[in-house]
Chains A and B, each alone.
Chain A
């Protein structure tokens, strides 16, 4: 399988993740979609690293993983806090900042 196939796969994964973020109401699922988008990016980085024959993309992919891990920790903590306060995991209910 040529490296270009991995790039196409990453694009498909990114679009699935993006659509998931936009249309799903459940916070957990939105969160998972974000993770999917991040991993699609990682896949693209690694593919490009392979294509160009250097390690820069792979290094960035590692950084993204580390940052994503931290983001998951903080994000899930916020999620838990919101769920405890409101008994709801819907993103549309958390719209207090409007107007």
Chain B
């Protein structure tokens, strides 16, 4: 892959960043003065970025396939001897996919948020933060070097923190924001160490510089780099072992969950791995670790999703699981990169649609999130029901919806890896597909079918609930306004069509080939493993119907099995962190404090006390009586003489 200088309309690609920067600056600096029209500016700036993204995409398509990597140098950020960090924009097939996803889905979600956040007095601040997020995310995917990527990486972390804790008056939201920030720091440490290692080994942090010399470094360096990058990806993408923050992140407003914690930011780890494909191709150990993390997470998230009664947390478990699929694919090398990105894009559509649907349900149900108090909503929220249902069919991979094409691509790629690892990975992916079908059918059945459990039991209200809703009361579910349903409809169209559009005729595979390489084998739409996954999905739907469709779900969660308990407790992810990391950390702190106060301070204080006590005792000898002085002189003289005599003898 060679990178050419940006020409023509691409010379203005800085506009992609400039629009949302302007929006965020005006909204956050302008303060309350911009309250009345702030949300409109936020949407407009995001849409402007999207329009430019489409222009850039069309321009890139116009070039010949090998010439589609265009670099725009903006300015030298840190120019010192031997170290160059530039701010530059790299538009290539990979980054332009992300630009379209971020600005396109982002704009739809912002339009939705105009309606969803209409009653929030801080709506303007919300849009300011959202624009800030879009800037940071675009910087992350557009930067042509790792330092710029890192700046965007930290920027999305900040925006995520601000938006999870948007309702900071709720202690749970504030705690969730802090938890996300701390968990991300662990991953960020891995990414920053990787960048330092790149500079130490290759003397460069730009993509071209690192990728051209990675082969000369040997597989040891490449594997070390890959593992550090994987740690960074685990933090940002909520992969095991840094997964625990994502479920708590659902404390944020639903549009945040849809944009940041489903469609874009949490997929940044997948982007990082795919973007660093030359490093991973050169380090097989790191690739194996990536696939293992992906396979473990896809089962982990799916199992958690099965037991959650909070609709957003069930979807969050599903997000974790789907990103596990992407990570698994990204670890398969050139065979999987394109499918990881295809699943990522399709997931961006259907998961954002599912979250917006969940938000629409919450909007109609007075912010209730407990699915056990839903039921029978399909007649009352018909648009939400249909769009959510299309997203549901897409995620569980029913043909011809999106997930069928993209997920089966990943399963096939894992299958074709061959060997024991290929078998195990493909088995994990197929079983995960079955579990996905089960928990998504459970969400669907508990929300839209069955008796209207809210009529007899009322709802309590959940995240951001009005204080008046502390007592159970009967809500009046209603369809959301047009400003919310139109984005949902557009995303539903994406959920239906995106997967097929990207996979059929290898459109995305060919488009991305200059950046990530060509898969060694191409496979058809209907493959053996894909059909097994489809059959398992149908079985999953059947089990869900037997458990939740045929008999009504009780309002009070039944006691459940050991596995259910584990899944409700996030498979003890928090308990693990607490016992393995937090408690020893506290012990270490206490030990340090003890050592400091007793050891270091004790030594100094003890020395002072000894000297003080001794001098206090010595002081008593100075009694002022001349005779006692004379006696001590005499004794001294006698001792001296005696000593002299002894020595002489």
Residues of A participating in the B interface, judged by any CB pair closer than 8 Å = 18, 21-23, 25, 30, 91-92, 94-99
Main secondary structure of the interface of B (DSSP, over half): helix
Residues of B participating in the A interface, judged by any CB pair closer than 8 Å = 619, 622-627, 630-631, 634
B631 and A95 contacting across the interface, CB-CB below 8 Å: no
Chain B nearest CB from A14 CB (Å) reads: 11
B625 and A92 contacting across the interface, CB-CB below 8 Å: yes
A97 and B627 contacting across the interface, CB-CB below 8 Å: no
A99 and B622 contacting across the interface, CB-CB below 8 Å: yes
Chain B nearest CB from A85 CB (Å) reads: 16
Chain B nearest CB from A31 CB (Å) reads: 11
B634 and A98 contacting across the interface, CB-CB below 8 Å: no
Q: Assuming A18-B634, A22-B634, is B619 touching A99 (CB within 8 A)?
A: yes
A25's nearest neighbour on chain B, judged by CB, is B627
A91 and B634 contacting across the interface, CB-CB below 8 Å: no
A22 and B623 contacting across the interface, CB-CB below 8 Å: no
27 A-B contacts, Cβ less than 8 Å apart?
Answer: A18-B634, A21-B627, A21-B630, A22-B627, A22-B630, A22-B631, A23-B627, A25-B627, A30-B626, A91-B625, A91-B626, A91-B627, A92-B625, A92-B626, A92-B627, A94-B626, A95-B623, A95-B624, A95-B625, A95-B626, A96-B624, A97-B622, A97-B624, A98-B624, A99-B619, A99-B622, A99-B624
Contacts of B622 in A (CB 8 A): 97-99
Known interface pairs A18-B634, A92-B626; 17 further A-B residue pairs with C-beta atoms within 8 A, sorted by A's residue number? A21-B630, A22-B630, A22-B631, A25-B627, A91-B626, A91-B627, A92-B627, A94-B626, A95-B624, A95-B625, A96-B624, A97-B624, A98-B622, A98-B624, A99-B619, A99-B622, A99-B624
A18 to B637, CA, bound (A): 12
Contacts of A92 in B (CB 8 A): 625-627
Contacts of A96 in B (CB 8 A): 624
B630's nearest neighbour on chain A, judged by CB, is A21
A97's nearest neighbour on chain B, judged by CB, is B624
A5 to B625, CA, bound (A): 36
A30 to B625, CA, bound (A): 13
Contacts of B619 in A (CB 8 A): 99
Contacts of A91 in B (CB 8 A): 625-627
Chain A nearest CB from B619 CB (Å) reads: 6
Contacts of A94 in B (CB 8 A): 626
A98 to B627, CA, bound (A): 13
Contacts of B623 in A (CB 8 A): 95, 98
A95 to B622, CA, bound (A): 10
7 nearest CB pairs, A to B: A98-B624, A95-B624, A91-B626, A98-B623, A97-B624, A21-B630, A95-B625
A94's nearest neighbour on chain B, judged by CB, is B626
Chain A nearest CB from B257 CB (Å) reads: 77
Contacts of A97 in B (CB 8 A): 622, 624
A79 to B220, CA, bound (A): 94
